[in-house]
A and B are shown apart, each in its own frame.
Chain A
Amino acid sequence: MKWSDFFTSSVGKKLIMSLSGLFLIAFLVVHVGLNACIWAMDDGVMFNKAAHFMGSNVVPRVLEIGLFATFFLHIIQGLVLEFQNRAKRKKGYAVKMGSKGSAWYRKSMGLLGTLILLFLIMHIAHFWVPSRITGLEPVYIDGKEYHNLFAEMASVFNDNLLVVILYVLGCFSLAWHLVHGFQSAFRALGLTNHKYIALINSVGIGFSVIVPLAFALMPVSFYLGWV
């Protein structure tokens, strides 16, 4: 089988969704870990240093390109599949199946993904664009100049209830997207052993709760003045 046949087949496309999804899950781990530094209670020193490392070291910068490419692939492929799949039933049912047999979030990956995409655009505009393109206020730690990303977070979230709510909703979408996506990614790769499937299901649900919750607490923490 040629590469082109593989990447255009339905199962090949699913494998791409799975692999790109797993890469994005790995990214979330890094992202949530770094951002958790805001809770170091040092006025963002550790956080700004960590952000600086990610922005200046060559390895994360190269990975960042991969990250954007993966996002792009995952989003485009996801949307394409969603529309292609919908077109496979031109005439629909008068009585819909609803959630008989399939939980709502399993059938709503396209919708959840789109919500996350909208959130992502806002999120990039809030942080990535100023940090990489338009520039941020400098802050001096031990005499060295850093971007004050911590202050940027404060300015985005403090006194801005609407943004905080949008971020929490974004994290909510992410959580449900992950509940399905995490285990589905492994099943799409061929995981058939029920012992491991059970393990992946548990880890997946844990991950889907903990990571989005941690993300959601970040804007809330700023808004409520916990940091």
Chain B
Amino acid sequence: MEHYSMNLTLKVWKQQNASAEGNFETYQVKDISSEMSFLEMFDVLNEQLIHDGKEPIAFDHDCREGICGMCSMYINGRPHGPWHGTTTCQLHMRAFKDGDTVVVEPWRANAFPVVKDLVVDRSSFDRIIQAGGYVSVNTGVSIDGNAIPIEKDNADKAFAAAACIGCGACVAACKNSSAMLFVSAKVSHLALLPQGNTERKNRVMNMVSQMDKEGFGSCTFTEACEAVCPKEISITNISRLNGEYAKASLASDKQ
């Protein structure tokens, strides 16, 4: 792997707090190594800003290994930047070349209000899980783990759906700001397993209802969510949610 260094122009969204008007600020960064991660490049910029007596840019990040789902930058017109199946923290600077201009914006959706600069509030996702994204078992069950064999294919599909990191890139990419990929991943994870079967009807109805309340849009299968998902969650999960929802709501006998 050839390593190189580069100078970049960054245009970054700055917004003091939730109620402030924001605007783009332009920064120059120099001698960025192609081996750095994108967030390490931001570290360099922030150190430079602090050195110059300015306020650093606030951005969400934590594990920096692509699993916590905290990082959330919309880079050059794409959530998490140009690489496929990658979170912002795993994006490395060899994706860019000397002289590039990089525009960085926060996730944009009414349901994800900006908290500061590039930080957004994704608590709506937690409330959707609260609406039913679980199996209602208390601690202390006594059924042996191997008592319920699960077809490997279904277990694998459930795992693939459960791999969602809740970063919100799907919402950020969707022209409708729809959270359907996120919601459907959870619905699928649990609907594909016998453990989730008992509550599957209420789960899907309640989670969709909460999703609508939070102000997310509806799905029109544009597939943008799947294309930007860092965990490559399949859009087929949305189809599964739709089927689950139709079955559950039509079977419901509430008048």
Q: Taking beta carbons and an 8 Å cutoff, which residues of A are in contact with B?
A: 1-2, 5-6, 9-15, 81, 84-98, 100-103, 106-107, 109, 180, 183-184, 187-192, 194, 197
**Known interface pairs A97-B224, A189-B246; A10-B173 also in contact (CB < 8 Å):** no
A sample of 11 cross-chain residue pairs with beta-carbon separation below 8 angstroms, ordered by A number, consists of A9-B209, A81-B220, A90-B110, A94-B103, A97-B224, A100-B77, A101-B228, A183-B221, A187-B238, A191-B243, A192-B243
Decide if A101 touches B238 in the complex (CB within 8 Å): no
Decide if A189 touches B243 in the complex (CB within 8 Å): yes
- Residues of chain A with a CB closer than 8 A to B74's CB: 93, 95
Stretch touching chain A among B31-39, B41-49, B91-99, B210-218: B210-218
- Residues of chain B with a CB closer than 8 A to A11's CB: 208, 218-219, 241-242, 245-246
Decide if B227 touches A10 in the complex (CB within 8 Å): no
Decide if A98 touches B77 in the complex (CB within 8 Å): yes
Stretch touching chain A among B2-10, B141-149, B175-183: B175-183
- Residues of chain A with a CB closer than 8 A to B117's CB: none
Distance (Å) between the CB of B209 and the closest chain A CB?
7
Instruction: Kindly supply a per-residue 1/0 record for chain B positions 108-147, scoring 1 wherever the CB is within 8 Å of any chain A CB and 0 otherwise.
Output: 1111000000000000000000000000000000000000
B223 within 8 A of A: yes
For the complex with contacts A183-B221, A188-B221, A188-B239, 11 further pairs of A-B residues with Cβ separation under 8 Å are A5-B249, A11-B219, A11-B245, A85-B176, A85-B218, A88-B109, A92-B108, A97-B224, A101-B223, A107-B222, A190-B242
Chain B binding surface, main DSSP class: mixed
Using CB atoms, name the residue of chain A closest to B74.
A93
Measured in the bound complex, the distance between the Cα atoms of B209 and A88 in whole Å is: 16
**Known interface pairs A1-B249, A190-B246; A89-B108 also in contact (CB < 8 Å):** yes
Q: Taking beta carbons and an 8 Å cutoff, which residues of B are in contact with A?
A: 11, 24, 74, 76-78, 103, 105, 108-111, 173, 175-178, 205, 208-209, 211-212, 215-224, 226-228, 235-236, 238-250, 252, 254-255
- Residues of chain B with a CB closer than 8 A to A6's CB: 249-250
**Known interface pairs A10-B212, A106-B223; A89-B77 also in contact (CB < 8 Å):** no
Distance (Å) between the CB of B118 and the closest chain A CB?
13
Using CB atoms, name the residue of chain B closest to A180.
B221
Decide if A94 touches B78 in the complex (CB within 8 Å): no
Measured in the bound complex, the distance between the Cα atoms of B198 and A172 in whole Å is: 47
Decide if B249 touches A96 in the complex (CB within 8 Å): no
Decide if A93 touches B221 in the complex (CB within 8 Å): no
Q: Closest 5 A-B residue pairs measured CB to CB?
A: A190-B243, A101-B227, A10-B218, A85-B176, A95-B77
